[in-house]
Amino acid sequence: MSKEKLTEILNNLRQELENTDLKDVDIRNKLHSLVEDLDSQLKNNDNPDIDDFTENISNMIEQFEIEHPGITELLSKLSIGLSNMGI
């Protein structure tokens, strides 16, 4: 998956986060931080080291599976995209 496609998924995730009522402020902050950090890595680095991102994404997926399926789907796409890039 290309960096452009991952950036598109990140933008979709941002939109989903804005439209979702996340009552847990800590989780919301972690998601926003994850999205911004990953976006920064993709924009500023040809070969970003994002092993931590894939682990964080997996943890977030577990937390959101039932209550927020839209967020879960986008996080899954990010994880798959990163894996397909060989990152």
**In the structure, what pLDDT confidence band is assigned to residue 34 with cuts at 50, 70 and 90?**
confident
Mean pLDDT value across residues 39-60: 75
pLDDT at 87 over 60: no
- In the structure encoding, which two tokens stand for residue 27, read together? 């989780």
Mean pLDDT value across residues 69-78: 85
Task: Give the global pTM.
Answer: 0.68
Mean pLDDT value across residues 38-64: 75
Residue with the larger pLDDT of the pair 86 and 43:
43
**In the structure, what pLDDT confidence band is assigned to residue 49 with cuts at 50, 70 and 90?**
low
- In the structure encoding, which two tokens stand for residue 77, read together? 């796409």
